[in-house]
Each structure stands twice: as structure tokens, then as C-alpha cells.
Amino acid sequence: MAILLAAPAFSSASTTPQTEKNFYRLRKRCIHTLKSQNLLSSRAAVTSLARECRAFQKAHPTSIYGTRALYLSGMLWEGLYTHTKHISDWNQSMRAYAKVVALYPTSWLADDALYRIGVLYLRIGLNHSAFATFKKLLERYPNSDLRSMAKSHLYRLSHTTSKNIYKKKKNGRAYSVLFKGFRYWSNAKYTRVVLDFSDKIPFNFKIIKGSRETKLLILFAKPFYLHGASSRLIHGKDGEYFKEASLKGRTGTSPLAMITFGPNAQCRIFTLVSPFRVVIDAVHQRNNEKMCPVKPLHRKAENIIICLDPGHGGKDPGATGPHGIKEKNVVLRIARILRKILIKKYGFKVIMTRNSDVFIPLEERVAFANSHGADLFVSIHINASRNRHLQGIATYCLSNTSDRKSLRLAARENGVPLSKMSSVEKILNDMLFCEKYNESYQVAHIIQGELMREVRSYSPYIHNLGVRYAPFYVLAGAKMPSVLLELDFISNPKSEARLSHYPYLDTIADGIAKGISKTIKTTDVAENFN
């Protein structure tokens, strides 16, 4: 919907002022309906409005507004299908999106329509058709802003439905969910455990606290299959807070996962999607002590650990500029320059989630920082937009937001469809208050201020987009102040050219370093798990 709220990128020769005026009246009514659950569930209201959109498109077939009206009709039918589950509504939505692709293959909405077709196939279980559609999207529109989400769907589908290797039968019933195994990161007082699945699976859990250990029991509501016997059991190392994780029960039955931590564990459980993962964070909590931050003692620079997180990497290139420069390469260069400055000039200890072109899952990045006792987590990214004139720098904190641009950016960085961001917001609702939210807010403002002061010495025309908020997976569960930087727009040709020059990258790194140094001096950046 965000793209429909934006101003059109171009106008057709056949478009008149009256056509534009009529479209925006129609669009206003459509958006009102899409936002109203009562109207969206009314077949009469949706049918009437969708027909008006279709009639408008037929009356203005060569106008940009005709394309948008046709896409709006697909959104209306899809919204109605969400409520009714009638296959006829599903078919109407599919027809509308298919016509956008067929009639306007070069339109800025063609890739969006093709993506929605893939999602509609998924919603009725036609995974093979969805796989082919997402693959077609990447082939036809390699520069689409939806490519990362399409790739996420392809990755999940290639490990489940397309190969069809996980479906086995017991008593004539097929089970299609695969448990791929446990992963964990731990130190003496913190553990993150991730359970990887091929598809969504419901579960309940119970925490049992003893004098010597804490047990977390997870009971899954339906059977699944294993990726081999080795996925049943893993053990922690000596001195780690994590002890072991095991899977109880026979293959094809509803199993029980039992995860054991040290004593007095405060556990938080949440799920991530694309692919589906169950994530458990466990932190040692002393008796009568809350998890919220405590005031730190001032420490020497060499005792402060800064974790730098260059975004994307490996199979995930991130955003790509008009001339082919990839986000993953630029952010790695900036992180390496920044690490050198922080160590040599300021004396901090620096760790990096990646130091080469490798793919690191989002949940692993903050777990790496937590398990190494980092005092500050800085995730480095480059922004992108369909509007190639946009440029500027923003710093983000973890929070829920209603801003569509921030949600669309978070969806791209999270590698999930925008439609699933509501579930991400629910996950974050109970995570914001006991994490170092206030410190992160202070850190963001300090770094943004110092960074803008430096980059404007390079180019005074770079826009300050300020401190913003969005539900980024990569920041979820951080036990230290954490921020995500969006350093200019690689989609802007001028910005892309700047980002390819090392003097500009040096300036960016110097600004971030000054912000971090000022942060350590003026903000309560507590030593983890005091």
C-alpha cells in the first residue's frame, strides 16, 4: 500500500488534470476501505469499489493512474478473500494482479503485482506455483525492491515443498514440517538458542526453576520430522550458561524440546519467520534483581567492547545501486575502516559479526554481541528507494512504528513481506521495556549528530533524516544499547558514486567513531549482565 500512497513517478501523455483528480478521489475511498475491517469484510462494498477501479482502468488504459487503479482492485479482492476465504475472491484478486503484469510489464507496480501473485499461491498451499512465481520475479525484475523477500520465500520453499523430501507418512497421514536442529551462542551469564524449522509450527512452553538449573520445556502441537539423529541433542561447553538441548519423543509424534540453562534463568521466547525459527534468550538473574539496566562504573577504553555489524553478506547482497555497487560490500568497507579508527585512535576493543563476504542470519548477529559481552552494538546498512532522488542519513532504534516507510525498510532488512510485519511488532511489544531502550535512544542521537557534522564537511547537501524507529530483527534481544545506521541511499546515482569513494567512507567512519566515543563518555553504557 505504501507505493500507492506515494506520488506517481511519471505521468502519461493521456493523463489530464481531471483524470488525476478522479483517480485520487477513487484511491482515497479504496484506502479507507482497506484500512477499515468492517468495510473490507463487506462483499457489497468491496465488489462495488473494485468494479469502479476496473472501469477506471478500462477508461484510461494508457495512463499511470489506470495501472494503479487496476492494482488497487487486486488489493481490494485480496482483502476480501482474507475475511471470506472464498476461492472466487482469491481468483478475482489473481486476475487483477495478473493483468497488471500482462498489460503493464514495465510499470513500477508490475513486480509488486507478481509478488502478490506468489503470496496468494502460498495462502492456498500451491507452493510449487509460488516458487515458480517468485523465481520469475527475480528473473524479470532483478532490481526490484522486493527481491530480498522473494529470495527468502524461495529459500524456504526450496528446503520444503519444491524438493518434497521432507514429507513422510505415518498411518496414512503426511507430515511436512522438518526440524533442522538446534543452534546456540553462550557465555557465563547469557544464552541464545534457536530451533530451526522448515515451516510454522504451534507450541506451548513451561519453565521449571531449580536450585542448580533452569529447564525450559517446549511442547509442539503437531508432529514433525528430523534432519538426522544429530539434530536431537547438543551440549554446552564448560563454563557456559547453556547446558544442553534435547528433543524427546519418537519421529512422527508430537515431540517435546527440553533446554537446560544454569540457575536463576530469566527466559524470553519469540519466533521469527522466513524461515520459521523459535528463539530463546536466557540471562542469569540474581535474586531480587531486575533485568533493567543499572548504572555502570566508569571503565577504561580498552575494557569497552564495541560490536560492529556490517549488514547482509554472502548470498544476501542487500540493496544494489544503479551501476551495480552492492550494499554488502560498501558496509563491510565502512566497518573495517571504523574498526581501525576505534582501536588505534580511541583504544576500544572491537569485534565484528563478519569480516568477509559471508551470510550471517539476523538472529546470530545480536547473539554474537551478547555472548561476547559487547557494550554497544552498531549495525551498518545503506538505504535504498524507488525514488532515485532520495538521499540522506538516518539512525534507527528498535521500536514499533506506524510509519509505512520505516516498516517497508524494516521488512526489506528483515527479509520478510511487509504483510508479516504486524507479527514482528507483536513480538517486540514485550521486549522493549526491559532492554536498554533509553540508552539506545541517547546513543542514536549522539551518533547521528556527530556523523552528520562530519559528512557535511565532505558534502553540505547531504540530508539529515534524524533518529527514527522501526522493528528490526537484528536489534531484537540486544542486551546492550543498539542502533542501526542507514548511511545514504545507494539507489541515488550521486550517492552511489560517493559510496564508491574511500574519502567519503573515511568521513563516514570518522563521524561514527566520534559519536561512539562521545557516547561512551556521556551515556550510561553499562557492562552487560551486572
The model's pLDDT over 365-388, given as tens digits with 9 standing for 90+, comes to 999 999 999 999 999 999 998 899
Q: What pLDDT is attached to residue 230?
A: 54
Which residues, 6+ apart, have CB-to-CB distance to 128 below 8 Å?
A: 161, 162
Q: Is the pLDDT of residue 232 over 80?
A: no
How much is the pLDDT for 327? 94
Query: Quick one: pLDDT at residue 453?
Result: 96
User: Which whole-number Å values give the CA distances from 184 to 233, 268, 414, 436, in the listed order?
Assistant: 12, 14, 20, 23
Q: Do β-strands 242-248 and 256-261 pair in parallel, antiparallel, or remain unpaired?
A: antiparallel
CB 225 within 8 A of CB 166: yes
Name 183's Cβ contacts closer than 8 Å, sequence gap at least 6: 193, 194, 196, 364
Q: Quick one: pLDDT band at residue 445, thresholds 50, 70, 90?
A: very high
Greater model confidence, 58 or 250: 58
**pLDDT above 80 (res 159):** no
- The lowest-confidence range among 193-207, 450-464, 515-529 is 515-529
Q: In the chain, what percentage of residues exceed pLDDT 70?
A: 80
What pLDDT, on the 0 to 100 scale, is given for residue 289? 45
Choice between 27 and 89, residue whose per-residue pLDDT is larger: 27
pLDDT at position 8: 38
Grid cell listed for 116: 502478490
Residue 228 bridge partners (DSSP): none
Interval 291-332: pLDDT, tens: 444 444 457 888 899 999 999 999 889 999 999 999 999 999
Residue 312, SS3 per DSSP: coil
pLDDT at 89 (0 to 100): 80
* pLDDT higher than threshold 60 for residue 501: yes
- Reported as a pLDDT band with limits 50, 70 and 90, residue 80 is confident
Whether 31 and 5 have beta carbons less than 8 Å apart is answered as yes
Residue 430 has pLDDT above 50, yes or no: no
Q: Which residue has the higher pLDDT, 526 or 140?
A: 140
Between 110 and 165, where is the model more confident?
A: 110
Mean pLDDT score of the chain, rounded to an integer? 82
- pLDDT at residue 50 tops 80: yes
Greatest mean pLDDT among 210-219, 414-423, 470-479 lies in 210-219
Between 311 and 471, the more confident residue is 311
Quote the cell numbers at residue 181.
Answer: 536442529
Q: For the ranges 160-164, 202-206, 363-367, which has the lowest average pLDDT?
A: 160-164
Q: What does the alpha-carbon distance between residue 34 and residue 41 come to, in Å, rounded to a whole number?
A: 10
Q: What pLDDT score does 165 carry? A: 39
pLDDT at 162 over 80: no
**Identity of the residue numbered 434:** C
C-alpha cell at 314: 554472502
Please report the DSSP string for 336-369 in residue order: HHHHHHHHHTT--EEEES-SSS----HHHHHHHH
Strand partners, 397: 469
pLDDT: which is higher, 123 or 352:
352
How far is residue 510 CA from its own chain's centroid? 28
For the ranges 223-237, 392-406, 430-444, the lowest mean pLDDT is seen at 430-444
Which residues, including other chains, have CB under 8 Å from residue 158's CB and lie 6 or more apart? 131
Arithmetic mean of pLDDT, 397-405:
64
In the structure, what pLDDT confidence band is assigned to residue 6 with cuts at 50, 70 and 90? very low
